[in-house]
Amino acid sequence: MRKIFNKRLVELAEHDERIHMVLADIGYGEIESFAEKFPNRYYNVGVAEQNMTGVACGLAMEGNIAVTYSIANFPTLRCLEQVRNDVCYHNANVKIVIIGGGVSYGALGVSHHSTEDIAIMRALPNIVVVVPCDPKEAKYAVDAMIAHDGPVYYRCGYKNESDVHDGEIDFSFGKALTVREGSDCTVIFCGPIGSEAKKAVEKLANEGLSCDLISMHTIKPIDKDAILGSVRKTGRLVTIEEHNLSGGLGSAVAEVLADGQLTGVKFKRMGFPDVYVHEVGSQAWLRTLYGLDSKGIEDTIKTLCSE
């Protein structure tokens, strides 16, 4: 997905001189094309994410579109005060991009896990929070990000993500995408873990259990109509995210149910519990360890539907 992101950003920058990229000495192997084509719009501020965010805000306040780009927590948690006070408070046209959401960098440990970011970023006023699930969503999310006037948090995958959507998609912020329709359970996910959800739902369909499978790519603003409409139909709901349960997709969906006064719903949130994922290993292994692989998702849906 990061290749898709960088390729599309360069394509858009060829036609829009307002687009600038600001890095904190990271991203090599992917960003050279932007740096070579637009040397006057490319800035490496060194290992100084707070400075990176301040420079990006300054560029945006001069009428530009500034993109900060780094891995996992570095463009968010390390410089959260600057994101809050400089970017969001001023509603600046800064796009905060992370590569490797969740435990994509599992082998590098907790410092490189991004498992609290959705909760923290969606709490900030003025910002859009988008979590593409596959290369198709990743590409169109870049277009939507650049077109949006104001802060955007773009949580990108890492590499080798598979397609979740079979055909073309109609992507826009705040409008969920239905991957598969069903009547027995609503399954809502965000991000590349959608590929595991899709495997689980397809296997369940072969066993006679049909699910609405929904990609909630925009956590803020969230698609309330898609959530309420599907859950009113099925009466059951499972949310899946590669993020801590506190404050993430599941929490956002629960808020929608509460505000919509939708009661009597059988509801299960899937994600990391309230822990630091201290185990070190591949993303696939960590997902399995915490029951976030297709088998764990399948078992959870089965259990909920049998109650």
For 166-199, the pLDDT digits (tens) are 999 999 999 999 999 999 999 999 999 999 999 9
Of 194, 215, 208, give the one whose Cα is nearest residue 294.
194
In the chain, domain spans: 2-156, 177-306
Q: Do domains 2-156 and 177-306 have the same CATH topology?
A: yes
In the DSSP assignment, the letter for residue 170 is -
% pLDDT > 70, the chain: 100
Of 185, 181, 183, 240, give the one whose Cα is nearest residue 216.
240
% pLDDT > 90, the chain: 95
Q: Do the beta carbons of residue 56 and residue 8 sit within 8 Å?
A: no
pTM of the model: 0.97
273 cis-preceded (ω within 30 degrees of 0): no
Which pLDDT score, from 0 to 100, does residue 91 have? 98
Q: How confident is the model at residue 131 (pLDDT cuts 50, 70, 90)?
A: very high
Statement: residue 25 has pLDDT above 80: yes
Statement: residue 28 has pLDDT above 90: no
- CATH fold of the domain at 2-156: Rossmann fold (3.40.50)
Mean per-residue pLDDT of the chain: 96
For the 177-306 domain, the top CATH level (class) is: alpha beta
Q: How confident is the model at residue 27 (pLDDT cuts 50, 70, 90)?
A: confident
119-122 CB contacts, 8 Å cutoff, 24+ apart: 119/243, 119/244, 119/246, 119/247, 119/248, 119/251, 120/76, 120/77, 120/80, 120/247, 121/76, 121/83, 121/96, 121/153, 121/220, 122/219, 122/220, 122/247, 122/252
